[in-house]
Structure 1
């Protein structure tokens, strides 16, 4: 029979397929050695051991069970009976090593029940594998960037987490439960090297302000997108008020047209393929369709000035443009809606203006400033991963949140000798390793253990 299993220590003899799984009869061909007399030649004692049943990686979309026949071996020197499970079978679990790695990779993205159904294992077995992996992955410490971004996420009313990311790339650096400042001040030093952090980017929630004050010597910047979103909410409120007023006066068609223009009024972002910097927006004059609505035009112009503020190249110019926004925002027809935006800016003006103290000019001429936007874009994925972790505890949610973009043995390498992790690897390193001959997980080595 062809090498059906592709496991060096096992030889497939026959297999039987049913509607729900595959059963493979195999023979263990690996010869064990005595740990006390490795040079001694083992010999058979004349009888076979009882077959063992182990699970293997799924094949053709079905769980695979191996029924393995084994010979009984004894040491040629001390006559001691030798354990005989082979290097491809886990020494204590009824499964192959590669199945364990398959389960570990699947658990980074999927639920334990889903993985159990695919592999034929019980949910308890899958959960134990996930818990052991999460414990081992705690040894990985990613390098600390100079710009740190914090963003809170509420997965439910009682499950709220603080997400730590690289302010430049959005790479996850850590996640912990609780949004209060005391928890953050206690946990952050264990996750990142605070001595390397120069800039902290957060929204202006009370807890985040307290965290920034506790991190002495770090420039605390108010995230611009949270400021802009407050203004967007106010503009949408102005449009809604005018549309409601039109509906009450019997002009339902005008109300529908105005509501349909809400995105344009707020200032749509320029499509990425035509955008040269993160500050470029489609800020044309108010459409003719809204020119007769005084409050809507006033809100449109106020938001334009706030966007113009963030396109400033330095702090002094930005301060003057912020004053222009204030002048527009106190227009009598929109002042009530804009009041919360003005209070927010007045309370945190220093943090908002700190944005202009850490601008960077890139080689292509564009200007970049720190933001939590990369982390915000991952919130949907994090909530999905939390739902996939319910019942398994915060440790497995942490594991999924941190490592779901990666693949063990491809992006993260675990040494089969010392157990240390290397990675996550850069894309170039992943491609370079892909050109090497395939090796089983237990045969992978780190640089220290590689001869």
Structure 2
């Protein structure tokens, strides 16, 4: 059977010397460069003086589901001018690697939708070989231009719920992509990463959106003197919904202690399974959820008032256009809510400048929620990522992967 060898190879600079198909195993293609000269890397002179032949076997992309091995003659030349001996350049394979760049890129692409172990098994490679490909391609496939960052988001993610092990996620809010994942949210670890970016990059950052954690604020003030600090509106909103949910639990507990059985039943029927209807945006509820919400508001005047205040708070951030009007409405809301959301108001007073900073450019880290969900999925699929560095690389590739190799 005839095979289109040149089509299989697809390396225009290389000449096919031999082709072998080992039945039931692999295809072996023997190749060398199509020209009989090379350029000396030291003095730039052309030479045709071959010092010696050097044969090596490397893995290439499979063809028709069959593994392909390239038997390459990487010739050594001797320069007549400077007398140096050098190996000719092969731009499709890294020095000392046993695979082509394009195979490594294909393997990385597969990893994005799977994991190291499965990809290794599918391609007849070891976990270690696939891991090596992943690491060796970093400089080519991770192209993060830090000099373009103007608006930065800092948030964290707990990959295993309830275990308290947090990673810090740094996000370019303009490109909506993560630019770094830090192994913990310890300020020392985050500072080390930020400092590595260099003063020039940090000085160009104009705005940073953070959650309501003072160590983040101090770190930004220390390292990014030209950045305005904005409290992420979704974390502010979470303060409100958490306090509302605490009241829901208290109301349910109070209902359970009622002596009047009919009243107890009436209230518990309304309050049971009401968390979603009460806490989520009212305009996003379906008809069944709206009926549940109405029943909750009917049995609890406290929850009715707090829910109304929660919706008013969201509307201030969603619909108010003018910066001055936003501040006025926010202050009015704080006055009305002082008896219902004392804990949230205490936080808002401490962070008032950063909260109203949102109305300048409406900067938010809301994109981080989608990023965090994807990171959790990667973690669940991540058999073979035996350490944090592998997980970090695998994660960043989802947003910054590009195939540059020939």
The question of a shared fold, defined as TM-score above 0.5 by the shorter chain, is answered with yes
Q: 2:372 & 2:183 partners in 1: Cα distance?
A: 15
Q: Which residue of 2 aligns with 1:437?
A: none
Q: What is the SS of the residue equivalent to 1:103?
A: helix
Q: Which residue of 1 aligns with 2:312?
A: 305
Q: Is the 8 A contact 1:54 1:95 kept in 2?
A: yes
Q: How does 1:33-112 map to 2 (within 5 A)?
A: 33=36, 35=38, 40=48, 54-59=58-63, 62=65, 64-66=67-69, 68=71, 92-107=96-111, 110-112=114-116
- What is the root-mean-square deviation in Å for CA atoms of aligned residues? 4.2
Q: Is the 8 A contact 2:267 2:299 kept in 1?
A: no
Q: Is the 8 A contact 1:149 1:200 kept in 2?
A: yes
Q: Is the 8 A contact 1:55 1:99 kept in 2?
A: yes
Instruction: List per-residue Cα deviations over 1:69-91 (Å, max 9, x = no partner).
Output: x899999x99xxx9899876666
Structure 1 residues 198 and 393: CA distance shift in structure 2, 3 A: same
Please say if 1:130 is aligned against 2:139: no
Q: Is the 8 A contact 2:112 2:397 kept in 1?
A: yes
Q: Is the 8 A contact 2:58 2:100 kept in 1?
A: yes
Q: Which residue of 2 aligns with 1:3?
A: 4
Shifted more, 8-17 versus 378-387: the winner is: 8-17
Distance apart, 1:269 and its partner CA: 5.9
Q: 1:160 & 1:244 partners in 2: Cα distance?
A: 32
Q: 2:232 & 2:76 partners in 1: Cα distance?
A: 69
Distance apart, 1:235 and its partner CA: 1.9
Q: 1:163 & 1:71 partners in 2: Cα distance?
A: 46
Please say if 1:219 is aligned against 2:228: yes
Please say if 1:163 is aligned against 2:169: yes
- Scaled by the length of structure 2, what TM-score is found? 0.74
Q: 2:243 & 2:179 partners in 1: Cα distance?
A: 34
Distance apart, 1:345 and its partner CA: 1.4
Q: Which residue of 2 aligns with 1:255?
A: 268
- Scaled by the length of structure 1, what TM-score is found? 0.67
Distance apart, 1:201 and its partner CA: 0.9
- Out of 397, 402, 405, the position equivalent to 1:408 is 402
Q: Which residue of 2 aligns with 1:266?
A: 279
Q: 1:132 & 1:54 partners in 2: Cα distance?
A: 15
Q: Which residue of 2 aligns with 1:148?
A: 152
Q: Is the 8 A contact 1:267 1:283 kept in 2?
A: no
Q: 1:53 & 1:389 partners in 2: Cα distance?
A: 30
Distance apart, 1:382 and its partner CA: 2.0
Q: Is the 8 A contact 1:134 1:396 kept in 2?
A: no
Instruction: List per-residue Cα deviations over 1:229-269 (Å, max 9, x = no partner).
Output: 12112222323333444455554465344444443433526
Q: What is the SS of the residue equivalent to 2:137?
A: helix
Q: Which residue of 2 aligns with 1:175?
A: 181
Q: Which residue of 2 aligns with 1:382?
A: 375
The count of residues paired between Structure 1 and Structure 2 equals: 374
Write 1 or 2 for the structure with the bigger share of helix: 2
Q: Which residue of 2 aligns with 1:236?
A: 245
* Gaps in structure 2 of 5+ consecutive residues: 81-85
Structure 1 residues 164 and 88: CA distance shift in structure 2, 3 A: closer
Q: What is the SS of the residue equivalent to 1:405?
A: helix
